[in-house]
Chain A
Amino acid sequence: MGIPAYVHLRRAKDLADRSYAEPLDVDALARTALCSRAHFIRSFKAAYGETPHQYLQRRRIERATELLRGTDRSVSDICLSVGFRSLGSFSAVFRRIVGEAPIAYRERARAAPPPHVPACFTLMWTRPAGGALSEKPRASAAGSVASDDHEEVPGP
């Protein structure tokens, strides 16, 4: 991949990092990167090791962990303010990535003394890596389709 392609992909990644709270979808990110949706998803994954949808989901969950640690805002309020539309999908994605429920995470994080790490480093270094992140909405146990977020992304 050439340098100009990386620059466009970076602009799309920066948009996800900056505007995660908005109803961003893969098409909007692809427009920022100046390429077709399919090409964008492929080249983003080649550059950053995960699809744009997965990147955005982990960014949203990382922002949520900070709000859970540092504020008293409710889980449903935090869910909406990091760009999820439903508490059900937020909780499911949070649990899949972080490995525990939002409230359990908050209680555990607050039991420890607050880390004195500058927020810019927190942003860049604490986006969670764990947990298998589905690319497609999953069928819930009840049989209905859990909308995983704002869009469905086909596999590469």
Chain B
Amino acid sequence: MINRLSHATLWVLDQDAALRFYTEKLGFEVRRDQSIDSFRWLTVGPPDQPDVQLVLLEPGPPMMDAASADQIRALVAKGAMGTGVFATDDCRGTYEELKARGVEFLQEPTERFYGIEATFRDDSGNWFSLTQPAEVPVS
């Protein structure tokens, strides 16, 4: 039986810039920041969820060839990559807070059947939903 999701990879254009974005703008914690030769293992996560790590990776060799890495970077920069949903207890308040820090929003907080939702991009171009779930979650 699988118990939980512990790590998920996010392709970013620049690890230093992504680290600043996720910690200073989104308020995430650094979980790991270690290097093995030229490979940098950099993970972050939201303070209330210590058992999940988002792996901030730059595409490139030896994981993939240079041409594939170029394609992924272009896709991320073009905004073609949608990554996931972050949950919040207060979508409108968090929206104001993140917007004041310079996060680019695609959509203001809007009421939906499953809660209140806004969408934003990270500094690389990955888009996320920011959702305050309704009292009774709808599957």
* A151: interface (CB < 8 Å): no
25 examples of A-B residue contacts, CB within 8 angstroms:
A1-B74, A3-B13, A3-B73, A3-B74, A6-B78, A7-B77, A7-B125, A10-B79, A10-B125, A14-B106, A14-B121, A17-B106, A18-B106, A47-B78, A116-B113, A116-B139, A118-B117, A119-B110, A119-B112, A120-B82, A120-B119, A120-B127, A121-B82, A123-B107, A124-B82
CB-CB nearest 4 A-B residue pairs: A6-B77, A10-B79, A120-B129, A6-B78
Question: Cβ of A9: which chain B residues have Cβ within 8 Å of it?
Answer: 78
How near does chain A come to B124, taking the closest CB pair, in angstroms?
9
How many A-B contacts if CB must be within 8 Å? 55
Q: How large is the interface on B (under 10, 10 to 19, 20 to 34, 35 or more residues)?
A: 20 to 34
B119 to chain A, nearest CB (A): 5
Cβ B125 vs Cβ A118 within 8 A: no
Q: Residue A58 at the B interface, CB < 8 A?
A: no
CA distance A75 to B81 in the complex (A): 33
Chain A residues lying within 8 Å of B138, measured Cβ to Cβ, are: 116
Chain B min CB distance to A52 (Å): 14
- Is A13 part of the binding interface, using a Cβ–Cβ cutoff of 8 Å? yes
| In the assembled complex, B131 has its CB within 8 A of some CB on chain A | yes
B112 touches A118 (CB 8 A): yes
- Once bound together, how far apart are the Cα atoms of A121 and B129, in whole Å? 9
* Chain B stretch 91-139: residues in CB contact (< 8 A) with chain A: 104-107, 110, 112-114, 117, 119, 121, 125, 127, 129, 131, 138-139
Contact with A along B60-101 (1 / 0, CB 8 A): 000000000000011001110010010000000000000000
Contacts of A14 in B (CB 8 A): 79, 104, 106, 121
Measured CB to CB, the nearest residue on chain A to B110 is A119
- Pick from A18, A48, A118, A124: contact of B78, CB below 8 A: A48
